[in-house]
Amino acid sequence: MPSLGYVVRRVLQMVPTLVFILVVTFVLVRLLPGDPLSAIAGDRVTDAQVAQARAAYGLDEPLLTQFLIYVRHVATGDLGRSIVVQAPVRNLVTERLPPTLMLTAMSVLIGVGLAVPLAFASALRRGRAADFAIRAGAQISLSMPVFYIGLVLLTVFAAQLRWFPVGGYGDDWGERAYHLFLPAVTLGVSLAAILMRNLRAAIIEVLGAEYVDFARAKGLATRVVLLRHVLRNALISTLALLGPTVGALLGGAVITESVFAIPGIGRLMIESIYGRDYPVIQGLTLILALLVSLAFLVTDLIQAALDPRVAR
C-alpha cells in the first residue's frame, strides 16, 4: 500500500488544478456571446428590469469582485443559484450526478472487462488471425465517434430489436442498470479499444521478462504465471492511461447522455450552455474537474500499490 505521505502529496497536487479550473471557467463563461438575463426575459422586458436582475445576481459588479464573491461561496459549498430554473446549483448537481456516476462506473467495468481478455488473446496469439481480428476491431471502434456508436446501438438494439429502452434512467437500481446498459456499452467499447492496445503491448513486453521465465521454470501453472506475474506488471502502465481515459469518459458522457436522453450532468451542461446559465456552467465544470482529479488519484494509488517505486 502507498504511504500516507504519498497520499497527502497527491491530494495537495489537486488543489492548484481545481484553482486553475475555477479561474478559467469563470473567465470563459463570461466570454460567451449574449446576455443570459435578456435571453431568459425575452423581448418584452425593459432595460430597467434587466438592470435590476443583473444587480440581483451580482452581474453588474466588476469581474474581480464577481470572482472573489464566487470563490467565497464555493469555499462554503455554495455553488450559486441557477438563473434559468431558479434553483440552487448544488441541488441540481445532487440530482443529476448519480446517473453520470453510474454510467461512468458501468462504462469502466465494461471497458476493462473487454480489454483484459482481448489483450491477452491478442498478445498470446501474436501474428495470428485472432490477433489481427482483435486489433482491427479496436482500430474500427477508435475511428468511430462516440455519438455515432451510440446512434448505431440505439437504432439496432432499441428502435429495431427493442431489447433495450431508447432512453431514460429508471426508478430502481435494476431499471437503471437496464436503461444505462447501451450508453455504457457505447462508452465502454471506445475505452476497451484504448486500454486493449496499451495492455497488449505491455503483456508482450512482460512475457519476455526474465522473472516470467523463472516463474515458468519453477513449474508454476500457466494461469498463475499470467495472473500473478504477467497481468500484475502489465497493468501498471495501463493504469497510468486509465486516469485520462476516465476524464474522456466524462466528456463523452456529455454527448452520450444527450443521445440516450439520460438526466445526468452532461445533459445539464449542454442545457446550461445553451441557456447561458453562468452559475450552473461554473458549478458543473468544477464538479467535473474534481471527478477527473479523483479518478487520477485513485488510479495513481492503485498503481503505487502494484509498484511501490511509483510512490518514491
Q: CA-CA distances (angstroms) from residue 254 to 149, 169, 266, 285?
A: 14, 15, 4, 12
Residue 1 pLDDT level (bands cut at 50, 70, 90)? low
154 touches 182 (CB < 8 A): yes
Q: How far apart are the first and last CA of the chain?
A: 12
Q: Give me the architecture of the 96-264 domain, per CATH.
A: Orthogonal Bundle (1.10)
Task: Return the C-alpha cell found at 274.
Answer: 445553451
Smallest Cα–Cα separation from 253: which of 89, 142, 144, 105? 105
186 touches 146 (CB < 8 A): yes
Q: What is the pLDDT of residues 169-219, one digit of tens each?
A: 777 788 888 888 888 888 888 888 888 888 888 888 888 777 777 777 777
Domain chopping of the chain, boundaries: 96-264
pLDDT the model gives residue 57? 63
Q: What is the pLDDT of residues 83-117, one digit of tens each?
A: 777 788 888 888 888 888 888 888 888 988 888 88
Q: What's the chain's average pLDDT?
A: 79
- Name the percent of the chain in helix, strand, coil, to the closest 5: 80, 0, 20
Task: Return the C-alpha cell found at 271.
Answer: 442545457
251 touches 187 (CB < 8 A): no
pTM over 0.85: no
Q: What percent of the chain has pLDDT over 70?
A: 87
Smallest Cα–Cα separation from 246: which of 109, 127, 114, 149? 109
257 touches 269 (CB < 8 A): no
Region of 77 on the Ramachandran plot (φ > 0 left; ψ -120 to 50 alpha; else beta): left
3-class secondary structure, 85: coil
